[in-house]
Amino acid sequence: MQDKYDSMITGLGFAVPEKILTNADLEKIVDTTEEWIRTRTGMSERHVADENTATSDLSTEAAKKALAEAKLDAKDLDVIIVATVTPDTPFPSTGCYVQKNLGAVNAAAFDISAACSGFLYGLTMADNLIKSGAYKNILVIGAETLTKITDWTDRSTCVLFGDGAGAAVVQPSDGESGIIKTLIKSDGRLTDLLIMPGGGSRIPATHESIDQRLHYIKMEGQDVFKHAVKAMGGAAVDTLKAAGITSKELTLMIPHQANVRIIQATAKRIKLPMEQVYINVDKYGNTSAASIPIALTEAKEKGILKKGDYCLLVSFGGGFTIGAVLFKY
């Protein structure tokens, strides 16, 4: 295994809104059952932001925890990257709101749009910015308030999503721990499978676009499922291969939390026992870019992710986007 690293994660944190929506609550909103949601997705409940909470609020809360663990003053941040498809405003970026909230006056702040793979795109950028030698202290956040773009009349999507944020401070490696391999890829031929059609330059907001419910998430669930299984498994295999290791040397996999069946298929593809896979989709639903940093922080807080462990993060999302990051914690 590689023993020279450029960057490492030095702080983690996450935040979710207080309000919880259970499967039983959803039975009262759309024609669904607790059992259908649980058996088809693995989800039991999810957190929902109130009307006063935006993506930058959850991001800021998560970021403060990550900075505290890294013992880093916000003023020393060089870069803030927020991965989100639910920014506070189309512009300025959510990164700039977070910068203001933290008082990170010396940072360059911006957003990246890579849906559920956004956090891994962010980690990849952070690793390479540090590798360049020009930047040292980088905050990578994955954050979403997906329930704000959820169509509560569409049972095929509204049961799936939740809100939250997770943050990681990435700094130069101490030589003992660090990022080993990163992989990011996209397939723009599949843009239509998972999309919010309205609100951009193609379909700006009009009374008609609102009447046609174009400002909500639309998803071809089954197609997404098939591509996700292939993409997540492929990314996991390719990343282990690029690092020259097998899953036997892996301590833990933390996959994007969209559906427990997709996660099981990914673990099977790399022959990793499910005991070595972190799952919390039951508690948070699919929080898109936030799902991996929330799970990563939880795994660390529970002592499941320990110093010296080899951990694989893997994701897929709308775009299609694919990401994987292998690191030694």
Catalytic residue numbers?
A: 116, 256, 286
Secondary structure in 3-state letters for 179-197: EEEEEEEECHHHHHHEECC
Using rule CB under 6 A, residue 156 touches ligand UT7: yes
Check binding of 224 to ligand UT7 (CB under 6 A): yes
Nearer to ligand UT7, 98 or 190 (CB): 190
- Residue 291: partners with Cβ closer than 8 Å, 6 or more residues away: 116, 119, 142, 164, 166, 256, 257, 258, 281, 284, 315
Identified binder of ligand UT7 from the candidate list 12, 130, 228, 296, rule CB under 6 A: 228
The residue (of 258 and 296) whose beta carbon lies closer to ligand UT7 is: 258
Phi and psi based region of residue 244 (left: phi greater than 0; alpha: psi -120 to 50; beta: remaining): left
The span of 79-87, 93-101, 165-173, 224-232 binding ligand UT7 (CB under 6 A) equals 224-232
259 near ligand UT7 (CB under 6 A): yes
User: Site for ligand UT7 (CB under 6 A): how many residues?
Assistant: 19
Give me 96's structure tokens: 């700039």
Strands of 252-255's sheet in order across: 178-186, 321-328, 310-317, 252-255
| Contact assessment for residue 146 and residue 25, using Cβ atoms and an 8 Å cutoff | no
CA angle 303, 3, 236 (to 5 degrees): 65
Is residue 196 within the footprint of ligand UT7 (CB under 6 A)?
no
User: Is residue 41 a contact point for ligand UT7 (CB under 6 A)?
Assistant: yes
Across 204-216, b (16+ Cβ under 10 Å) vs e yields eeeeeeeeeebbb
Q: Is 260 a binder of ligand UT7 (CB under 6 A)? A: no
Q: Which of residues 21-40 bind ligand UT7 (CB under 6 A)?
A: 32, 36, 40
CB-based contact 73:89 (threshold 8 Å): no
Q: How far apart are CA 137 and CA 183, in angstroms?
A: 21
Which of 40/65 has CB closer to ligand UT7?
40
Backbone angles phi, psi at 87, to 5 degrees: -65, 160
Examine residue 317 and tell whether it contacts ligand UT7 (CB under 6 A). Answer: yes
Q: How far is the CB of 316 from ligand UT7 (least distance, A)?
A: 7
**Nearer to ligand UT7 (CB atom), residue 35 or residue 174:** 35
**Is residue 187 part of the contact set for ligand UT7 (CB under 6 A)?**
no
* Residue 86 makes contact with ligand UT7 by CB under 6 A: no
240 binds ligand UT7 (CB under 6 A): no
Contact call for residue 293 and ligand UT7 (CB under 6 A): no
Of 2, 191, 206, 222, the one binding ligand UT7 (CB under 6 A) is 222
Contacting residue, 38, 100, 136, 155, with ligand UT7 by CB under 6 A? 155
Residue closer to ligand UT7 (CB basis): 54 or 85: 85
**Could you say whether residue 136 binds ligand UT7 (CB under 6 A)?**
no
CB of residue 229 to ligand UT7, shortest distance in Å: 9
SS3 133: coil
User: Could you say whether residue 183 binds ligand UT7 (CB under 6 A)?
Assistant: no
Look at residues 301, 86, 61, 273 and name the one whose alpha carbon lies nearest to residue 165: 61
Q: Closest CB to ligand UT7 among 40 and 215? A: 40
Instruction: Name the 3-class secondary structure at 41.
Output: helix
Measured between alpha carbons, how far is residue 148 from residues 30, 115, 160 in Å?
Answer: 17, 15, 13
C-alpha dist (Å) from residue 24 to 20, 30, 36, 161, 245 = 11, 11, 11, 15, 44
- Asked whether position 221 contacts ligand UT7 by CB under 6 A, the answer is yes
Binding footprint of ligand UT7 on the chain (CB under 6 A): 32, 36, 40-41, 116, 155-156, 159, 194, 221-222, 224-225, 228, 258-259, 262, 286, 317
